[in-house]
Amino acid sequence: MSTLRIGLIVNPAAGRDIRRLTGGASVVDNYAKERVAECVLAGLDVVPNPPEVLAMPEKAGITDGAIETTPEEVAAGTLDLPIRGSAADTRRAAARLGEECAAIVVLGGDGTSRDVALECRDTPLLLVSTGTNNVVPSAVDGTVAGAAAALLATGAVDDRAVTDRHGMVEARLESGASVRGLAAVELIDRSFVGTRAMVDPADLVGGIVSRANPGEIGLPGIAGALGSISPTEPDAAFLGLREPAEAGRTVNAIAAPGMTAEVGIETHQVLGGEESTTIEVEEAVLGADGERELEVQDEEVEFRSLPGGPRLVAFKRVFAAAAGSGVLEKG
């Protein structure tokens, strides 16, 4: 791993799926993403000898446009990687960058963050929110992310002191297939047709979350109405949902961007790090972090938390450490 190189992954599809039309999800177009990427590259100049940048190529030209504006002091280029325009691009790029870089800056939402987390090994991630579902990524300026990445990659700040390991969750079928999520794995009462995005929260019938807070969106927010779980804890929460009129209890939650709802709770189970729960599923779809992943028919499905999640950078701690060490002082 190069200690003077950072990776950059920009997902051109993040923040542009059908949920921006059917609900209140914000729109982050490619121009806005390019501006954020430009800010990331500009932020690297906070250190005297900025790290090199290695970016994932993509067909929309976002990273190419950003690289054209790179400060003279920063060397930037793209991975030699064939692009097919799918989530597999992100995963393959994350695997390469995890081997070659000291940190990876990711522009996207929960789905992009999950794809990177599954393949990046133990490389610290700086997640910048530009997606539709943004439970995990931070709403942080790109310049802040770039400066933090530079401080990590050059060793000005000890990455062990400014990263937290985020939990992950999994649904495993008796047949052996599995789906892993960063914030949530959802059980969806719909066939796997059309868009991968989970559009209607009413289709959600349950699932497991690695984090829970009533201020979050989707299943983590629903679970959070019943009790908070920090993403750094080994615990997870399993939920079974039903129509509010048929449920023994209900909660008000932020079901989706631009949408609050009364949600009926049939089951709420907090699972310790070594615990799991199993249910019988006749027909449904398993999703991860707001995107459909796997059709399920007549299967026993086990839900559990997973150890060894990704290391996410805490931005404020990076700059507190930098200020405390005097690395930002001149003269």
List the domain boundaries for the chain. 5-165+310-325, 168-306
pLDDT given at position 35 = 96
Residue spans of alpha helices (H) in the chain? 19-22, 30-43, 62-68, 87-100, 110-117, 142-153, 219-224, 315-325
Question: 113 vs 3, 98, 120, 299, CA distance in Å?
Answer: 22, 14, 10, 28
Q: Strands of the chain (E only): list them.
A: 5-10, 52-55, 76-78, 103-108, 125-129, 163-165, 168-173, 178-181, 184-188, 204-209, 236-242, 249-256, 259-271, 276-288, 291-306, 311-313
Sheet holding 259-271, edge to edge: 178-181, 168-173, 291-306, 276-288, 184-188, 204-209, 236-242, 259-271, 249-256
pLDDT given at position 168 = 97
169-227 confidence digits (pLDDT tens): 999 999 999 999 999 999 998 666 545 565 566 789 999 999 999 999 999 999 999 99
CB 100 within 8 A of CB 78: no
| CA end-to-end span of the chain | 32
pLDDT given at position 1 = 43
Rounded CA-CA distance 136/166 in Å is 9
Which range among 124-138, 192-206, 241-255, 311-325 shows the weakest confidence by mean pLDDT?
Answer: 192-206
Per DSSP, the residues of 152-169 read HHTTSS-GGGSEEEPPEE
CB 208 within 8 A of CB 186: no
Cα torsion 178, 184, 188, 194 to 10°: value is: -80
Domain covering 168-306 assigned CATH 3.55.50 in the classification: no
Q: Nearest CA to 114 among 224, 244, 14?
A: 14
Return the number of other C-beta atoms located less than 10 Å from residue 203's C-beta.
16
Rounded CA-CA distance 129/134 in Å is 6
pTM for the full model? 0.92
Which range among 150-159, 217-226, 284-293, 311-320 shows the weakest confidence by mean pLDDT?
Answer: 284-293
**Which positions ≥6 away from 291 have C-beta within 8 Å?**
111, 196, 197, 198
pLDDT at 18 over 50: no
Rounded CA-CA distance 1/100 in Å is 5
pLDDT given at position 22 = 44
**Percentage of residues in the chain having pLDDT higher than 90:** 81
116-131 confidence digits (pLDDT tens): 999 999 999 999 999 8
56-107 confidence digits (pLDDT tens): 999 999 999 999 999 888 999 999 999 998 889 999 999 999 999 999 999 9
249-308 confidence digits (pLDDT tens): 999 999 888 889 999 999 999 999 889 999 999 999 999 998 889 999 999 999 999 988
pLDDT given at position 181 = 97
Task: Select the more confidently predicted residue: 3 or 296.
Answer: 296
**Which positions ≥6 away from 118 have C-beta within 8 Å?**
91, 94, 180
Q: Which two tokens stand for residue 228?
A: 């908070």
Task: Select the more confidently predicted residue: 231 or 19.
Answer: 231
Report the CATH architecture of 5-165+310-325.
3-Layer(aba) Sandwich (3.40)
